[in-house]
Each structure stands twice: as C-alpha cells, then as structure tokens.
Structure 1
Amino acid sequence: MDWPLLIEFVRQRAPAFLAQLEGVPDASIWALAADRGAALPASYVEFLRRMGSHCSGWAPFGATLDHHFAAIVERLDAEDEDAPPSDRFFPVAIETDESLVALYDHYLDLQRVEGDDAPLVMLEAGVPYQWQTPIETHETFNERVTFSLFHRFQLRLCAERDVVTLGGTLRAGEGRAGLQQALVLLQRAGFEPALPLLGRTACLRAGTLSVLARVNENHELLTLLLGSDNRLSLKALADQLLAGLPGARRPSGPFVG
C-alpha cells in the first residue's frame, strides 16, 4: 500500500482530519506482535503508526467496529485458551454494538499474507474458536482501507450520486471480469486511478466525476458508485455505463451510499 499517496489524497481534501490523527509507537506495536507471535503485514503496521490511537471519527470497518490499538490490546489480553490463535488470526476491529444477536470481529488471516497485505475474515466473539469456521469477507485490509478512504473523502463530498451494478448471477469470476470491463470503458472515457488499483477495488476520477468500483465475491456482483457536483454529467456517465456494459442496471430504490 502506498501510504504517502493515500495521506496526500486525504490532505488535499481534509487537512484538518490529518492534524487530529494519533499513531502508535513502534515499540508498542512490535512488543504486542512479538508477545503474540504474530507476523503483522507491513500495511497494517503503517496504519497503526499513523492513526492507530485516534482516527478522528473515521471508521473503516463500520461505525460500531472499534479498530483502535487499545481495543485490540484489550481483546487480546482478555482471551483464553478457546480464543483464535493470534499468530494465525489477529484482531483488527472489535464489534461494540452489544444489541446485536451475534458480535463478529474482523481479523487478519496471517497465514495468507501476500506482500504487505492480508485477507480479512470474521469470527464470532465469545464462541470457542474450535466451534467456528472463519467467515470470508472476500476483502483484504488494503482493499477495505482504500475503499473507505475514497468513499469518505471523495464520494461523500459529491453533491450528486448514483449507482450502477453488474453481475450477481453467482458465476465464478463474474465480479472481477465485470470490473475489468468497466475499467476498460472508464479509461477510454478519460478516467484515471485516483488511488492504486487493487484486486477488487478501483477508485477513479475524470474532471468532476468520481467512480468507486467494488467487487462483492459473495454474490459475484460489481457495484459502481458514481459521484459528481454536476447532475447532467453524472447522468451521462451512468447512461454510458448502462449502455457499454451488457447486463448493467440501476438497482431499485434510492442511492444512499
């Protein structure tokens, strides 16, 4: 993950946000990792260094999931012999909404680290690990952070928004294939990556137009979130996608993303 690029992207849009971030000292990160025998991916370590103590209200995993270092330490300190092995599954976000029927925390799967990244899985809090099968999110840590940053600091700032979807028939690979088709169409229309392209996530811009593309491999569905301050330009983009991507459609109901 190109963290300097991500930070500069946010700086251009919300410098006050960056001024409030608080990171975790390296010594604290490495001491916890060594104590747990966990080989943490470099991107997650950098995330903790930059904003692991305070994120100024940004919640990349969801509004009720606490990703701060103190919450992670507290969870690990409270674990017993029935907990997931932290050298395999390392917690990165703790569910705090106790009104839910089941509380699912997010973990890095450290046996599937690739480069500086790792897949995210969910495990139910309070249930012995040996009784569980990790739930695949079909998303990596880098994909989650990139999606959330672009959504918070680009798409949500647009006055007008729309959505186009493609796929969803559960044919294997359909979601990623749809993303590649969409990228070809968008690049021909002058769009360029605003953040690094990842396997299931793409953030693109062209003038006042923004596109956040995401593949949900649970349903083999590609979702294209569109944003602009110009309603006519946004409509033209949506119409172009609907015409250029066979099977593309607008989902029913208003877009509130």
Structure 2
Amino acid sequence: MNARWDDIRAFISRRSPERARAFVGVPREEIAQFEARYAIALPALYRDFLATMGKDHGDFYPLGDHYACDLDTLVEQLPGSNYPHDQYHKIGHEADPEAIAEYDLFLDLRRSDGSDAPLVRFEDDEWFNLEAVKEVGFTLADQLVRSAFAPFELRRRRKVREVSIFFESAEELGPAMRQIAAQMHALGLVDVMPGTQKVACLGDDTVSLSIQEYTQLSILYVSIGAMAAKSANRIAEGLLDQFSHASVKG
C-alpha cells in the first residue's frame, strides 16, 4: 500500500509529538479557493499536506533542506506568464542564499493521478524552457516518506551506514529492492510506515533501515541506523557480500 498523508502525519506524531504540535495548516476552504482562483486541481496528497503544515512546518523540512514550502511564500511567487502554472505547480522555493542556481520544486500536474504527482525542478526564470525541466525521480509521496523517515526514525540511532548499490539497468532496481526488504523482514524488521514503489522504511527496537530507488542513476540507496555499530555493520556487510557493485560509507 502506498503511503497516504495520514500515514506520514501519524508517523511523525508518534515519533515526535512536540514537533508535530508546531505544525500550522492552511484551512481547507482557503485551499479550495486557491485552486479555483488559479484554475488548477492539486493532488489530494498535496492538499492534505497543506492542511497540516502549509503555513508552518517548524524545523521539519518536508521537501529537503533550504526549500521554503509554506503557501504564503509560494503565492507571492506565482507566475504571470513566465511558465505554465496549470501544468507545473511550484511547491518549494530554493531559499539557500548561497545556491548558485535556484532550482525550485514543482508538481508535474500533467502526470498527476489525482492523488499524487511526479516532482520536477527548474529555475523559475523570466523565460520558461521546457528543455530545462529536470526530473527529480520521485513523486511527492516518495519525497514526503523519505523526508519524514530520516529525521524522525533513522537519525535517532547512534550509528548510521549508507550503502549504494549500482545496477546496469533501472529495471533491476524493483526486484532488488523487494529482495532486500524480504531479507530484512526475515531478520525481524517490520514496516514502520507504509512505503511507496520507490521507498521502503523498516525497523525494530534497535535498527532502522530505508531503501530508496534512484531510477535515473540505476542505484539503490540503503540507509541503516542502529543503536550499536555492529548491528549496522552486519547489515551493510551482508549487502556488500550480496551485491558486487556496492559501496558503503559511514
């Protein structure tokens, strides 16, 4: 089952209720008025996200570090005619003052299924160039699951190992991801929140693990957090033995 916003919000509330209480949402009637005003249909997941933390997300960065994603900031930057807002809806503004290029984050509404949509990025410049639109490789659901799991689960462990597994083609990623997940289940890890097709999140009382598919690079990225270094090392070494094109750091 793909993660819904209710799953992600409940996960954050369980792991850090005090941080969850800092979230301030946008009233749903305002979201509906926004959609009507600009003649767009936002994915349900994004509407739910806005209703929970669309005004203030505290010290949680749901779209990644340096991305401002509160609706008030984004409304100020809505385009005149410099890009097709009904096709690409901005949900994150690059707010790092040291960034060389401001690659803002957008929902590709052309490919929305009504619930979710792929993420793309490009510079919100004076002139829109379709060739400058870059695939992120994740949908909004993928991004929200991975961004919640890292601070609220993985980083609470003392030791973290990162394993990159390289494949010859992207078609190998899905089967390998399911294989690793099955092996972790056999070790006693359980799904700590519903994942997506590209992100799996597992753990128990002492170990946390996420698996992420980077389709464009044909890489599986496995993050392992554990209370004891030997537990993280044991899983990492098992992956290195199993996959010839794998490397570990941390």
Tell me the TM-score normalized by structure 1: 0.90
Matched residue, 1:64: 66
In structure 1, C-alpha distance between the alignment counterparts of 2:90 and 2:243, rounded to whole Å: 40
Compute the displacement of 1:12 (Å). Answer: 2.2
- Judge conservation of contact 2:188–2:204 (CA < 8 Å) in 1: yes
Matched residue, 1:247: 244
Distance verdict in 2 for CA 1:74–1:237, change over 3 Å:
same
Name the SS of the counterpart of 2:52 in structure 1: helix
More divergent stretch after superposition (138-147 vs 115-124): 115-124
In structure 2, C-alpha distance between the alignment counterparts of 1:176 and 1:167, rounded to whole Å: 13
Code of the residue aligned with 2:219 in structure 1: it is: L
| 2:76 counterpart of 1:81 | no
- Of 223, 227, 233 in structure 2, the residue corresponding to residue 229 of structure 1 is 227
The C-alpha deviation readout for 1:10-37, integer Å capped at 9, x for no partner, is 2222111011110001122111111111
The C-alpha deviation readout for 1:33-53, integer Å capped at 9, x for no partner, is 111111100000000000110
- Judge conservation of contact 2:167–2:245 (CA < 8 Å) in 1: no
Identity fraction in percent: 26
Distance verdict in 2 for CA 1:211–1:96, change over 3 Å:
same
Name the SS of the counterpart of 2:96 in structure 1: coil
In structure 1, C-alpha distance between the alignment counterparts of 2:146 and 2:175, rounded to whole Å: 19
In structure 2, C-alpha distance between the alignment counterparts of 1:117 and 1:131, rounded to whole Å: 22
- Judge conservation of contact 2:118–2:138 (CA < 8 Å) in 1: yes
Compute the displacement of 1:248 (Å). Answer: 5.1
In structure 2, C-alpha distance between the alignment counterparts of 1:5 and 1:62, rounded to whole Å: 19
- Judge conservation of contact 2:112–2:118 (CA < 8 Å) in 1: yes
Matched residue, 2:203: 205
In structure 2, C-alpha distance between the alignment counterparts of 1:98 and 1:113, rounded to whole Å: 31
Compute the displacement of 1:116 (Å). Answer: 1.1
Distance verdict in 2 for CA 1:235–1:112, change over 3 Å:
same
In structure 1, C-alpha distance between the alignment counterparts of 2:113 and 2:130, rounded to whole Å: 27
Name the SS of the counterpart of 1:218 in structure 2: helix
Compute the displacement of 1:168 (Å). Answer: 4.4
In structure 1, C-alpha distance between the alignment counterparts of 2:170 and 2:158, rounded to whole Å: 36
Name the SS of the counterpart of 1:204 in structure 2: strand
Code of the residue aligned with 2:80 in structure 1: it is: D
Name the SS of the counterpart of 2:25 in structure 1: coil
Compute the displacement of 1:81 (Å). Answer: 1.6
In structure 2, C-alpha distance between the alignment counterparts of 1:115 and 1:195, rounded to whole Å: 22
Distance verdict in 2 for CA 1:177–1:133, change over 3 Å:
farther
- Judge conservation of contact 1:166–1:223 (CA < 8 Å) in 2: yes
In structure 1, C-alpha distance between the alignment counterparts of 2:181 and 2:6, rounded to whole Å: 24
- Judge conservation of contact 1:202–1:212 (CA < 8 Å) in 2: yes
Q: Which runs of 4+ in 1 moved over 6 A?
A: none
Q: Which runs of 5+ in 2 are unaligned?
A: none
Tell me the TM-score normalized by structure 2: 0.92
In structure 2, C-alpha distance between the alignment counterparts of 1:95 and 1:5, rounded to whole Å: 27
Q: CA RMSD in A?
A: 1.7
In structure 2, C-alpha distance between the alignment counterparts of 1:239 and 1:122, rounded to whole Å: 35
In structure 2, C-alpha distance between the alignment counterparts of 1:30 and 1:151, rounded to whole Å: 31
Code of the residue aligned with 1:66 in structure 2: it is: A
Compute the displacement of 1:115 (Å). Answer: 4.6
More divergent stretch after superposition (48-57 vs 60-69): 60-69
The C-alpha deviation readout for 1:72-130, integer Å capped at 9, x for no partner, is 11111xx2222x21211110001122433321111001111125110000121214114
Q: What is the aligned residue count?
A: 248
In structure 2, C-alpha distance between the alignment counterparts of 1:127 and 1:185, rounded to whole Å: 50
Distance verdict in 2 for CA 1:131–1:145, change over 3 Å:
closer
Matched residue, 2:164: 165
Matched residue, 1:106: 105
- Judge conservation of contact 2:4–2:141 (CA < 8 Å) in 1: no
Name the SS of the counterpart of 1:61 in structure 2: coil
Matched residue, 1:145: 144
